[in-house]
Amino acid sequence: MASHTVENYLKALFALANEAGEVGISDLSDHLAVSKPSVNSMAKALQQDGFLKYEKYKPLKLTAKGKKAAALVVRKHRLTEMFLVEQMGFGWDEVHDIAEQVEHVKAPAFFDRMDELVGFPTVDPHGSPIPDAQGNVLEIDCVKLSECAVGEKVSLVGLSQSSKSLLTFLDSHGIALGHTFDIRAVEPFDGSMTVVHQGATDQTFSLKVCERLLVNKEA
Amino acid sequence: MASHTVENYLKALFALANEAGEVGISDLSDHLAVSKPSVNSMAKALQQDGFLKYEKYKPLKLTAKGKKAAALVVRKHRLTEMFLVEQMGFGWDEVHDIAEQVEHVKAPAFFDRMDELVGFPTVDPHGSPIPDAQGNVLEIDCVKLSECAVGEKVSLVGLSQSSKSLLTFLDSHGIALGHTFDIRAVEPFDGSMTVVHQGATDQTFSLKVCERLLVNKEA
DNA sequence: CTCGATTGTTAGAGCACCCTAACAATGTAG
DNA sequence: CTACATTGTTAGGGTGCTCTAACAATCGAG
């Protein structure tokens, strides 16, 4: 099995590829807080192990094997998050850091049991899909709230690049997955949106927030 | 915080000191399946960090700091075992290997929550005491079954050096912590003992088994 | 098309941990 | 009290992962 370090590289590669498409040495270097030469030599090592296709000066590409391995790490991470929230009573803003640690545990039975105990979920507490045991990822049908138009009714199904501060923000506004928004107005100047939250209270979100909220158009 | 490796050295040092008294380089080498020179240089490193007192050709001695650090690793291990059994439905023979992995997680909140969820236990599923958050270990009042005499009534409170095969043996004989034994006979030739288990069935155990069963004399 | 910024690469080194081979100290049996 | 087995130590090397310094390739602006 892959080392702790390798698992982290794979996870980062997987995440960056899913949000940015092409992944360069520098992207990984920033994301993992590791120097570029370190990433460079790790890239060669990962290629050696068949996880990565690497050519000088070209973007990094996970192979099928690499994608599967990465997805299985993500699976462990997200199952853990789900377990922490559902079975252990943690808040959705507390679980990322713990899961970051637990995901490296090498004990398949442990994660299988978590999966069972939380009822074989398909998404984690932040609405991100949980890859299956074969490493397949189900795409969720969603768009950014910022891409929706006035008059639409949507429901929150996930978050893009969720961070502790985003989660805290949402908590403080009483927003959770599944909540609905009626889009009342979009400010042309800064892209901020005014919505009716859960059919009750008016709230205004900055563009930055709206870009992070992934919604589904049949609320 | 100590690395994964250092935590394992500390744990081994702690365990060996508790069962054998003096701990030599070779003991650790065997216990951790690591060469003697490796242990030797690690011993110097641990001394450097104040975990150990090391003098050439002398037995290794954990310092107070070392004992505390070791106890806290043991605490994480045993809390995890307890959690795995009580909350996740694993058998007492399955939890050691998983806990071996999970114990290295660096997330105090994770273990604190486990502690809470299993009701602040003082012993793990094998009857071993769980050190408190300050690293203090409560001694259990017990003796080996092999040291008891005919006629005594005792109850099982713990195991010495529990191993998967011992646990499987006990399971297959329907024996669990808390069960009682009335000592009927001790075979002088091989030290095997015949007892009445739970006031019901007669069973005979080899000396090897009796030395692993820790019992309490007021059943 | 050239220049400068960005991005990527090489070279060289360090740290943590592991090993084997060879040798030295210790403890024990005769 | 010597002789041998056991135990411990030194020396020297390897792997995985990290870094900085210096240089090379690529890309975009003017």
Domain holding A21: CATH number?
Answer: 1.10.10.10
Q: Which residues of A touch B114 (CB under 8 A)?
A: 88
Its sign, for the CA torsion A124, A162, A22, A53, is negative
Query: A115-141 burial, b if ≥16 CB within 10 A, otherwise e?
Result: bebbeebebbbbbbbbbeeebebeeee
Which protein residue's Cα is closest to nucleotide C26 at C1'?
B57
Q: Are B190 and B129 in contact (CB under 8 A)?
A: no
Alpha-carbon A193 to chain mean position: 23
Contact A101 B107 (CB under 8 A): yes
The continuous run of DSSP H or E covering B194 comes out as: strand B193-197
Shared domain check, B210 and B155? yes
Residue B205 lies in a domain: yes
The nucleotides of chain D lying under 7 Å from a protein CB are 6-12, 16-22, 25-26
The answer to whether the beta carbon of residue A40 comes closer than 7 angstroms to any atom of strand C is: yes
SS3 at position B57: coil
* Token pair for B145: 């079954």
CA–CA gap between residue A153 and residue A214 (Å, rounded): 13
Last residue of a domain, one of A17, A35, A62: A62
Domain holding B174: CATH number?
Answer: 2.30.30.90
Per-residue pLDDT tens over the stretch B101-137: 999 999 999 999 999 999 999 999 999 999 999 999 9
**pLDDT of amino acid B36:** 97
Domain tally for chain A?
A: 2
Residue A48 lies in a domain: yes
Alpha-carbon B183 to chain mean position: 25
Per-residue pLDDT tens over the stretch A85-144: 999 999 989 999 999 999 999 999 999 999 999 999 999 999 899 999 999 998 888 888
Last residue of a domain, one of A62, A81, A100: A62
**pLDDT of amino acid A219:** 47
Range of A43's domain? 4-62
Residue A190 lies in a domain: yes
Chain A contact for B1 (CB, 8 A cutoff): no
Residue A149 lies in a domain: yes
Q: Mean pLDDT across the stretch B76-101?
A: 96
CA–CA gap between residue B181 and residue B201 (Å, rounded): 10
Shared domain check, B34 and B20? yes
